[in-house]
């Protein structure tokens, strides 16, 4: 019987970019591509990714408290979205103080949907849930100031680091699509660049690696975005996936170096060939 592979758990806290959307199916997202590449680079490891929606940075602490205890990740990727600084943001109060309640309730409804698909009460259940859990009452946050955003991210990093062996990674925002038709109150290339610089400075100050998606996308033109939007196109997702995989691979090696039994595997992995990505 073959020995079981060691699990490496990675928690991603971000927005819709990591889940897929119209024009970008889930298998083409940067977490899916990065996971496939990591599995190729480290065949002796079993990668488990947990993707969670961060509805607003003010809910980061509660979401981390829930997922760090339930998932026990080895690596946490905290994503900074520039639009939190560009427009007021409306979220449900319950999402920010007890996200586990909302997530559990929605999981239960999905199971009912799978069991009784097509029946009228499916729609009634979803409407009832939307009216009672997390979506009501609401809170509207004004655009985040950069110093407050930095403080919230720093609090999240410190929360993750309470377990010494856990690695933390920051991911900055993507680039600014000059052709966007999104009508955010404060949007501009300068603001997007300022958020990215804040993330880079924070990473340097706290010795946290940063996935610099904005720099990776900068050498490309509009083909890395969806038309009229800041969201990544399939090609953009592939570009960002290369950066994600490179940073995570480095963190995996450092994790393995933490365990003497894994050192031979680390040496073999370091000399492994560079992983190739599909050319979208």
Q: Is the domain of 17 the same as that of 50?
A: yes
Top-confidence range, 36-40, 87-91, 122-126: 36-40
What's the average model confidence in pLDDT over 230-249?
96
State the pLDDT confidence band at 130, using cuts at 50, 70 and 90: low
Task: Give 51's strand partners.
Answer: 12
Buried b (16+ CB within 10 A) or exposed e, 219-233: eeeeebbbeebbbbb
Cα separation, 93 vs 58, in Å, equals 10
Q: Is the domain of 68 the same as that of 123?
A: no
**216 in a domain, yes or no?**
yes
Contact 236, 174 (CB under 8 A): yes
Q: Specify the DSSP class assigned to residue 4.
A: P
pTM above 0.85, yes or no: no
The pLDDT assigned to 275 comes to 43
pLDDT at 277 over 70: no
pLDDT at 106 over 70: no
User: What is the percent of the chain where pLDDT is above 90?
Assistant: 60
**275 in a domain, yes or no?**
no
**Interval 163-195: pLDDT, tens:** 878 999 999 999 887 777 677 767 788 999 999
Q: Is the domain of 64 the same as that of 146?
A: yes
Q: Is the domain of 133 the same as that of 152?
A: no
Q: How many CB atoms lie within 10 A of CB 180?
A: 17
The pLDDT assigned to 40 comes to 97
Tally the residues of the chain.
280
Cα separation, 133 vs 94, in Å, equals 7
Cα separation, 246 vs 241, in Å, equals 8
Lowest mean pLDDT, pick from 31-35, 55-59, 123-127, 186-190: 123-127
Of 77, 111, 140, the position where a domain reaches its end is: 140
Q: Look at 233 and 96; give whichever has higher pLDDT.
A: 233
The pLDDT assigned to 44 comes to 95
Q: Is the domain of 154 the same as that of 248?
A: yes
Q: How many domains does the chain fold into?
A: 2
State the pLDDT confidence band at 22, using cuts at 50, 70 and 90: very high
**1 in a domain, yes or no?**
no
> Which range of residues forms the domain containing residue 108?
98-140
Q: Is the domain of 75 the same as that of 104?
A: no
pLDDT at 159 over 50: yes
């Amino acid at each position: 019987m073959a020995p079981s592979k060691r699990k490496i758990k990675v928690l991603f806290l971000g927005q819709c970019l990591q889940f897929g959307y119209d024009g970008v199916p889930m298998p083409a997202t940067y977490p899916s591509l990065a996971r496939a590449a990591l599995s190729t680079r480290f065949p002796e490891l079993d990668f488990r990714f947990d993707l969670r929606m961060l509805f607003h940075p003010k809910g980061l602490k509660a979401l981390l408290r829930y997922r760090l205890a339930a998932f026990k990740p080895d690596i946490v990727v905290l994503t900074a979205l520039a639009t939190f600084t560009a427009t007021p943001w409306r979220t449900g109060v319950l999402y920010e103080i007890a996200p586990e309640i909302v997530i559990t309730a929605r999981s239960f409804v999905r199971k009912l949907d799978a069991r009784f698909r097509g029946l009228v009460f499916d729609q009634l259940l979803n409407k009832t849930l939307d009216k009672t859990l997390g979506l009501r009452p609401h809170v509207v946050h004004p655009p985040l100031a950069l110093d407050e955003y930095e403080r919230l991210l720093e609090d999240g990093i410190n929360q993750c680091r309470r377990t010494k062996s856990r690695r933390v990674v920051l991911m900055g925002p993507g680039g600014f699509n000059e052709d966007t038709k999104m009508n955010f109150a404060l949007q501009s290339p300068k603001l997007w660049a300022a958020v990215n610089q804040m993330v880079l400075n924070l990473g340097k100050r706290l010795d946290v690696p940063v996935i610099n998606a904005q720099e990776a996308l900068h050498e490309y033109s509009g083909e890395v975005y969806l038309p009229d939007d800041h969201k990544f196109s399939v090609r953009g997702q592939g570009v960002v996936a290369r950066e994600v995989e490179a940073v995570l691979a480095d963190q995996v090696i450092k994790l393995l170096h933490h365990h003497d039994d894994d050192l031979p595997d680390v040496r073999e992995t370091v000399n492994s060939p560079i992983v190739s990505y599909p050319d979208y």
